[in-house]
């Protein structure tokens, strides 16, 4: 049986998970949360990860009931993500691999999401909607690559939601998107917003600029409530995502959709347990890669902030 430990820390979550042949043995994490109205900076996020990573590592091993000798491979997030947090986690993963005498594997963050989703849902060959704070892509597998059929041409959907949350001072605990969703449930008036789909691609920066400007005017004049704006933004953004996902499904002849990434935790689209960033997803992708013969040599174990999903050769699928 193959046991892989995975280190994830590309954004504001530090997580370490252990997978044994498709079974999640442990998956603890910590989340860096900033005050309302503030985003998280790379240096502060990296400082948070440094403070907690050894504690989380200890928890992962204890919850799994394993010792370092039981681990077959150490996987870590190579990218994409924020530079300073990625480097922090990569350094620890490299150190652990050397101390334990185990092979190392750099994993693409998006592919971690996809492989975890495939494991949990048992989906065979789904069209993937990857929606998070830093990424928005529609993906399908073809000829040993996860091909990007459509994506955002500017900011990610999660970033759009997070930045709007700052405008109206919504709490970041547990996440801005979750709190927008709760407020949206109380909204009753739809405020028309720009809807920008260009073929298979989407654009969110214009919507954000429009609603940032409109929010102050409409709220101060009493034209609508903050709940109405949350409802309108969520409906518009998700409608755009549904449109490009359906188009990709038609193109690929697919009957399955897999939603991954932090925004997938919103009730609409429906959530899955392992959508948010976590160590187990890196362990699962690492497990697939390691079983197919892949390892990362120490001199090649750098991080890549802009690591495209379709750059990875998928050696573990037919």
Is 132 among the annotated ligand-binding positions?
yes
Lowest mean pLDDT among 14-23, 154-163, 218-227, 257-266: 257-266
Is the confidence at residue 204, as pLDDT, over 90?
Answer: yes
Domains 3-119+273-300 and 127-255 share a fold: yes
Contact criterion met (CB below 8 Å) for 193 and 210: yes
Contact criterion met (CB below 8 Å) for 150 and 138: yes
Is the confidence at residue 273, as pLDDT, over 90?
Answer: no
Q: Tens of pLDDT along 3-40?
A: 999 999 999 999 999 999 999 999 999 999 999 999 99
Listed by start position, the domains of the chain span 3-119+273-300, 127-255
Is 26 among the annotated ligand-binding positions?
no
Is 48 among the annotated ligand-binding positions?
no
Q: Tens of pLDDT along 167-198?
A: 999 999 988 999 999 999 999 999 999 999 99
Is 131 among the annotated ligand-binding positions?
yes
Q: Tens of pLDDT along 57-70?
A: 999 999 999 999 99
Is 310 among the annotated ligand-binding positions?
no
Query: pLDDT at position 291, please?
Result: 98
Query: pLDDT at position 270, please?
Result: 45
Lowest mean pLDDT among 41-55, 94-108, 253-267: 253-267
**Pair type for strands 145-151 and 136-142:** antiparallel
- The average pLDDT across 122-142 equals 95
- DSSP string spanning 41-95? -HHHHHHHHHHHHHHHHHHHHHHHT--GGG--EEEEEEESS-HHHHHHHHHHHHH
Query: pLDDT at position 147, please?
Result: 97
Whether cis (ω within 30° of 0) applies to the bond prior to 269 is: yes
CA-to-CA dists, residue 284 to 61, 74, 287, angstroms: 16, 11, 5
Contact criterion met (CB below 8 Å) for 289 and 105: yes
Query: pLDDT at position 268, please?
Result: 47
Is 76 among the annotated ligand-binding positions?
no
- The average pLDDT across 108-118 equals 97
Q: How confident is the model at residue 274 (pLDDT cuts 50, 70, 90)?
A: confident
Query: pLDDT at position 271, please?
Result: 55
- The average pLDDT across 135-163 equals 97
Is 307 among the annotated ligand-binding positions?
no
Could you tell me which of 101, 103, 100, 110 has the C-alpha nearest to residue 8? 110
Residues 6+ apart with CB under 8 A from 261: 113, 130, 131, 132, 135, 158, 275
- The average pLDDT across 252-265 equals 91
Query: pLDDT at position 236, please?
Result: 98
φ/ψ of 150, rounded to 5, equals -160, 155
- The average pLDDT across 198-215 equals 96
Is 228 among the annotated ligand-binding positions?
no
Is 15 among the annotated ligand-binding positions?
no
The yes or no reply on domain 3-119+273-300 and CATH 3.90.76.10 is no
Is 134 among the annotated ligand-binding positions?
yes
What is the average pLDDT score of the chain?
95
Architecture of domain 127-255: 2-Layer Sandwich (3.30)
Is 70 among the annotated ligand-binding positions?
no
**107 SS3 class:** strand
Query: pLDDT at position 245, please?
Result: 97
Is 266 among the annotated ligand-binding positions?
yes
């Amino acid at each position: 049986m193959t046991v892989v430990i995975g280190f994830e820390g590309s954004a504001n979550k530090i997580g370490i998970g252990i997978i044994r042949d498709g079974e999640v043995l442990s998956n603890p994490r910590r989340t860096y949360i900033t005050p309302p109205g503030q985003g998280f900076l790379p240096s502060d996020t990296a400082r948070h990860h440094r403070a907690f990573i050894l504690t989380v590592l200890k928890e992962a091993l204890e919850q799994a009931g394993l010792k370092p000798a039981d681990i077959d491979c150490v996987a870590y997030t190579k990218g994409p993500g924020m530079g300073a947090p990625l480097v922090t986690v990569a350094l620890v993963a490299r150190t652990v691999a050397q101390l334990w005498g185990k092979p190392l594997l750099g994993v693409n963050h998006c592919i971690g999401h996809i492989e975890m989703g495939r494991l949990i849902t048992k989906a065979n060959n789904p069209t993937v909607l990857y929606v998070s704070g830093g990424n928005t892509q529609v993906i399908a597998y073809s000829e040993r690559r996860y091909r990007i059929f459509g994506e955002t041409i500017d900011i990610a959907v999660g970033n759009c939601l997070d930045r709007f949350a700052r405008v109206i001072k919504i709490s970041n605990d547990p996440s801005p998107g979750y709190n927008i969703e709760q407020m949206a449930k109380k909204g009753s008036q739809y405020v028309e917003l720009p809807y920008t789909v260009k073929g298979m691609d989407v654009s969110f920066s214009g919507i954000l600029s429009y609603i940032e400007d409109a929010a102050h005017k409409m709220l101060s004049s009493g034209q609508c409530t903050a709940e109405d704006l949350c409802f309108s933004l969520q409906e518009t953004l998700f409608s755009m995502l549904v449109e490009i996902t359906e188009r990709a499904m038609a193109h690929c002849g697919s009957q399955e959709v897999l939603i991954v990434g932090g925004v997938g935790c919103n009730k609409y689209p429906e959530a899955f347990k392992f959508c948010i960033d976590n160590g187990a997803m890196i362990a699962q992708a690492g497990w697939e890669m390691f079983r197919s013969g892949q390892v990362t040599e120490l001199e090649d174990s750098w991080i890549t902030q802009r690591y495209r999903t379709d750059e990875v050769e998928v050696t573990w699928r037919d």
